[in-house]
């Protein structure tokens, strides 16, 4: 395999890990916390998970550990969209597994959850592992979006595990994947199968988090990758001085990526979906807000600028959110047709009125094939182009009234796949390796239904805290395909938190002035302040801790 000079150097990088992970297993003990409860819908979640609900949080501490020498054959699955650092989770898991006993085996199921259902796997060896250390992508064993959710699928998983004497499964995924991990753990427990299931928190969207899961892996690298591109565009805009750039960023259910990129680059405008929802803003309110900034900048001779748009914006606008909810319900029914005439005949009068005001292209995008959860595919809705169209109309009206004399030349961008498989930053390389190594500690100590948890992440890696977070404590009930199902509750931007507070204090100044910052590319070598810095989000969230 041909490799670049950077890849050759990254293969040599030794991830920095917490002190506790440098200890021999016999010197690591478990500290138990209080029993946990779900985020909401407590009784319903408890009923659905009778064998794994209410587990305590745990922390690994230095002390007398378990000296058992049982053989552990572990299966690992990459589930869902890619996120930088996934390979290092597997590398950390492998190294811990082999440190415990060289006879332990790591089965890499191919193509995501379908790999275990089809019994397609490879035995991961040192040669394979060493060729993927600190690299981006999920190509070591590939990923997939098959959901593990039916009794039949669970039966197959059990048979495959028994066939290969697999004693544990590690699922590396986002909120839905780790929900499936919790359901699979409950199933194995109900069957007395003695097979543990451990999850690892992955998603570049940054919405899989709580007090113990401070960030999901990949968020750091993806935001730094996007911020480099935004900085490049800002430099170009400041050079040509004639274009307005509207940049849509990944993050369907939360605006964490847009907010973090705004903190790193200081654009003129950044929309935060959670704020729009709380203020009950209409689409016309958003158009007015952006147009007002464009007019004010033009009065200073600045007919250019940068506007960041979160991918899920359209679902945060209350009137459109209700419309999408009803569309999802209509199109989930047998015999439903994805046509404008069909949905108009089935929509309520209020939602029909909203639907008919949208441009024809946006109507069609709202009716495209649904995602695996039965919901509209927000990533296919070109919200930035919708805003450009409506803002152009608004500015033309203002020009006719003599209230705007500038020029509006817009360009649209969508940054998504560009950030998902980048070489992981030093932070994500360290964090992911630690997550994988820590996952084996959970397995070795007999835990199941837990997320591998590394906290205190704004401190140096020596002081990171390792442990486990019960997955059920993160759950609530949501509507999926018209049915109420348990899922991990997504963490949204906290409007009363330090991160949004800092942005709110500065955005008016950034709107009118050119306070652009240019992060440049991710650095892997050099001073700590450049190559080992955490995200602005982690820095601000932990400022008073």
Q: Is 118 a catalytic residue?
A: no
Alpha-carbon distance 537 to 400, whole Å?
43
Residue 539 to residue 263: CA distance in whole angstroms: 11
- In the structure encoding, which two tokens stand for residue 239, read together? 């050079």
End-to-end CA distance of the chain, in Å?
46
Q: What is the largest CA-CA distance in the chain?
A: 81
Pairing of strands 465-470, 73-78: unpaired
For 101, other C-beta atoms within 10 Å of its C-beta total 12
Give the other-Cβ count within 10 Å of 107's Cβ.
Answer: 23
- The two beta strands, 196-201 and 450-455, are parallel
Cβ atoms of residues 487 and 175 within 8 Å: yes
Give CA–CA dist 507/495, Å, rounded.
14
| Neighbouring-strand partners of residue 170 | 76, 198
Separation of alpha carbons 217 and 227, rounded Å:
17
User: How many CB atoms sit inside 10 A of residue 333's CB?
Assistant: 9
Q: Beta strand 196-201 with 168-173: parallel, antiparallel or unpaired?
A: parallel
Tokens of 494: 């906290």
Query: Residue 237: what are its φ and ψ, rounded to 5°?
Result: -60, -40
Q: Given 95, 205, 220, 430, which residue is catalytic?
A: 205
Q: Which two tokens stand for residue 110?
A: 């191919």
> How far apart (Å, rounded) are the C-alpha atoms in residues 128 and 324?
45
Kindly list the catalytic residues: 205
């Amino acid at each position: 395999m041909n490799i670049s000079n950077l890849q050759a150097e990254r293969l040599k990088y030794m991830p920095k890990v917490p002190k506790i992970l440098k200890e021999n297993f016999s010197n690591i003990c478990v500290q138990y916390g209080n029993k946990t409860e779900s985020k909401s819908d407590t009784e319903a979640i408890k009923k659905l998970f009778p064998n794994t609900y209410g587990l305590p949080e745990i922390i690994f501490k230095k002390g007398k550990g378990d000296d058992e020498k049982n053989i552990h054959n572990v299966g690992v699955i990459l589930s869902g969209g890619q996120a930088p650092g996934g390979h290092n989770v597997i590398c950390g898991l492998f190294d811990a597994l082999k440190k415990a006993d060289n006879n332990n085996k790591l089965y890499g199921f191919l193509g995501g959850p379908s790999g275990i259902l089809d019994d397609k796997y490879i035995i991961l060896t040192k040669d394979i592992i060493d060729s993927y250390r600190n690299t981006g992508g999920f190509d070591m064993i590939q990923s997939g979006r098959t959901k593990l959710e039916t009794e039949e699928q669970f039966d197959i998983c059990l048979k495959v595990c028994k066939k290969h004497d697999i004693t544990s499964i590690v699922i590396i995924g986002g909120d839905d994947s780790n929900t499936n991990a919790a359901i699979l753990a409950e199933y194995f427990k109900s069957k007395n199968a003695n097979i543990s299931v451990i999850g690892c928190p992955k998603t570049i969207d940054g919405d899989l988090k709580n007090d113990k899961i401070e960030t999901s892996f990949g968020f750091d690298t993806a935001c730094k990758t996007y911020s480099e591109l935004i900085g490049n565009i800002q430099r170009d805009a400041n050079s040509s001085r004639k274009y307005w750039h509207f940049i849509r960023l990944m993050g369907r259910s939360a605006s964490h990526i847009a907010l973090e990129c705004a903190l790193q680059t200081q654009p003129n405008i950044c929309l935060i979906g959670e704020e729009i929802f709380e203020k009950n803003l209409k689409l016309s309110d958003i158009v007015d807000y952006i147009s007002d900034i464009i007019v004010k900048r033009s009065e200073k001779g600045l007919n250019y600028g940068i506007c960041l748009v979160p991918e899920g914006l359209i679902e945060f606008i209350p009137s459109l959110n209700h419309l999408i909810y009803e569309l999802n319900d209509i199109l989930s029914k047998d015999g439903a047709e994805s046509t404008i005439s069909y949905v108009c005949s089935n929509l309520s009068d209020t939602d029909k009125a909203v639907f008919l005001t949208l441009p024809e292209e946006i109507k069609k995008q709202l009716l495209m094939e649904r995602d695996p959860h039965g919901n509209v595919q927000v990533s296919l809705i070109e919200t930035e182009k919708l805003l450009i169209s409506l803002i152009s109309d608004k500015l033309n009206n203002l020009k006719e009234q003599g209230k705007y004399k500038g020029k509006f030349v817009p360009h649209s961008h969508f940054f998504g796949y560009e950030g998902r498989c980048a070489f992981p930053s030093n932070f994500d390389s360290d964090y992911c390796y630690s997550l994988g190594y820590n996952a084996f500690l959970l397995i070795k100590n007999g835990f199941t239904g837990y997320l591998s948890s590394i906290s205190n992440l704004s401190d140096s890696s020596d002081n990171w805290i390792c442990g486990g977070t019960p997955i059920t404590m993160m759950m609530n009930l949501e509507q999926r395909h018209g049915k109420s199902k348990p899922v991990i509750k997504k963490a949204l931007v906290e409007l009363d938190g330090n991160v949004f507070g800092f942005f709110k204090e500065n955005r008016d100044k950034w709107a009118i002035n050119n306070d652009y910052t240019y992060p440049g590319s991710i650095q892997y070598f050099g001073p700590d302040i450049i190559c080992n810095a955490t995200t602005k989000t982690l820095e601000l969230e932990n400022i008073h801790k």
